[in-house]
Amino acid sequence: MIDRIVSELGPWNWMVLGFVLLVVEVIAPGFFMLWIGIAALIVGAVSLLIWDATIWSWQIQVLAFLVLSLVSAFVGKTLMGGHDQPSDQPLLNRRGAQLVGKMATLAEPIKDGRGRIKLGDTLWRVSGPDLPAGTQVRVTSAADTDLELTVERV
């Protein structure tokens, strides 16, 4: 069945698929269908050149399309991928890291290495040496998850 459809449409089946994928990319942009559409157009162009070759069966065409899709998606990601440019606000979404160096008073004592401080309108969990409530502390670091700050006595 597939062999009959492929032979009836000839090499234009890949061209049609490529243009359909490019139209899908225009309708729902995301730079992914673009690369798969380009792969289909390349297979279509090769099919126009060597359609009558015995080796160019529909199975080989599909295999070539799959390989070219992967290669073009990788090349596209490399070309269009995220260019790591330094941010002018590297701590924008890292509230805990923004607090490093701030002074605060312990709202709850640090017992067994854990306690709480109040900075602004937020109570923060802290770790550090055991200290009584009301002690002045300085934030020395923040965990990667911003869930806990490390403090030291001032």
Looking at the structure, tell me whether residues 110 and 37 fall in a common domain. Answer: no
CATH number at 118 reads 2.40.50.140
Of the residues 36, 64, 81, which one is the last residue of a structural domain?
81
Per-residue confidence (pLDDT) for residue 83, from 0 to 100? 65
28 and 71 together in one domain: yes
* 139 and 96 housed in the same domain: yes
Residues facing residue 7 across a β-bridge:
none
Task: Give the domain range for residue 120.
Answer: 90-153
Q: Domain count for the chain, please give it.
A: 2
Same-domain check for residues 114 and 75: no
Same domain for 105 and 67? Answer: no
14 and 72 in a common domain: yes
Residue 130 and residue 72 in one domain: no
pLDDT band at 82 (very low <50, low <70, confident <90, very high): low
32: which residues sit within 8 A by CB, 6+ positions away? 25, 73
Helices (H) and strands (E) in the chain, counts: 5, 5
The answer on 68 and 19 residing in a single domain is yes
Structure tokens at 84: 């790591």
Distance between CA 145 and CA 139 in Å, rounded?
15
The label of the residue with tokens 């440019």 reads 85
* 100 and 141 assigned to the same domain: yes
Q: What is the pLDDT of residue 41?
A: 95
Residue entry with tokens 């359909």:
20
> Tens of pLDDT along 29-53?
877 899 999 999 999 999 999 988 8
Q: What is the pLDDT of residue 70?
A: 95
Please state, in angstroms and rounded to a whole number, the distance separating the CA atoms of residues 99 and 126: 12
